Amino acid sequence: MNGLKTMMLLAALTALLMALGYTLGGPTGAIVALVVACGMNIFSWWNSDKIVLKMHDAREVGPETDLYQMVKQLADRAALPMPRVYVIDQPHPNAFATGRNPENAAVAATTGLLSMLSRDEVEGVMAHELAHVKNRDTLVMTVVATIAGAISMLANFGMFFRDGEGRSNPLASILAVIVAPLAAMIVQMAISRTREFGADKVGAEMSGKPMALASALAKISRGAEAIPNPVARSKPAVAQLYIVPAGISQMFSTHPATELRIEALQDLAEGMGQPAVQPAARRSSALDPLG
């Protein structure tokens, strides 16, 4: 059912792109838009991990690091192939997963996150990211971001569209400026918000420490708002990849409110027979990405 919903949402984005192309260029415009959408899907499918990791100047770390060993234990526990592990030299606290399938996945965390969180909290975050890999969310989020970006680009072009006689097309302008970007945003949010709750649940079950993840979400949310993220600032479409996006109003956020995610984790902890109280942070147990 999850796969069917994904296909329907991706089809809706592609249809939206074609409709905008038809409005701007008639049948030819619709065909061109379809070709562009297919090309972007294929390109994103094959290169999603490389694109995102290069964008963040991420560096791969190996078995000699604590982070790698932690991810390996979680991957083994979840019966997942070992993903590549990356660290991003950035004070902004965040993490993400990427890759077209579990066999070609990668997880990354910033140095800001690793220094801010306790060891249990880092484990909760990495389990969340591995849950995205297990649920095959990573490819979908990247492809959706690519197509939504194409719609926004085409919408901006529509503002300057003129017919053969040099006149503007009012319908094209309305669709381009208002309807298409809004619809693309709604579809993108529908995918991401649902999947974040799912990744929180699967990740918490994977680590066995739902309240450690809850505590991590609270810390990351505060830190992400206070410390700028240069990549997200220049490329807003990547915000949906992070465990907690920053600098976006909740109305337009691709993620549920952090408070709601914490409440869901508290309920999960109670169901697992654990106290629904966020554990106190222990600075001494913070993870050293180089250790």
Residue 254 has pLDDT above 80, yes or no: no
Residue 83 · residue 107 · CB < 8 Å: yes
Placement of tokens 């591995």 in the chain: 130
Query: What residue segments make up the domains of the chain, in order of their start?
Result: 2-285
Q: Compute CA distances 148 → 16, 45, 164, 189, whole Å.
A: 10, 15, 28, 11
Average per-residue pLDDT for the chain: 81
3-state secondary structure 142-158: HHHHHHHHHHHHHHHHH
Placement of tokens 């680009």 in the chain: 153
- The mean pLDDT value for 195-205 works out to 94
Residue 213 · residue 203 · CB < 8 Å: yes
pLDDT digits (tens, 9 = 90+) for 143-177: 666 666 667 666 666 655 555 555 556 666 666 66
pLDDT at 8: 72
Residue 2 has pLDDT above 50, yes or no: yes
pLDDT at 281: 45
pLDDT at 197: 93
Catalytic residue positions? 129
- The mean pLDDT value for 192-218 works out to 93
Q: Quick check: helix, strand or coil at residue 184?
A: helix
pTM: 0.77
pLDDT at 284: 40
E strand or H helix at 85, and its extent? strand 84-88
221: confidence class by pLDDT, cuts 50, 70, 90 = very high
pLDDT at 282: 44
Residues 257-280 as b or e (16 or more Cβ within 10 Å = b): ebeebbebbbebbeeeeeebebee
pLDDT digits (tens, 9 = 90+) for 33-92: 788 777 776 776 677 788 889 989 999 999 999 999 999 999 999 999 999 999 999 999
Radius of gyration for the chain, computed over Cα atoms and rounded to the nearest angstrom: 20
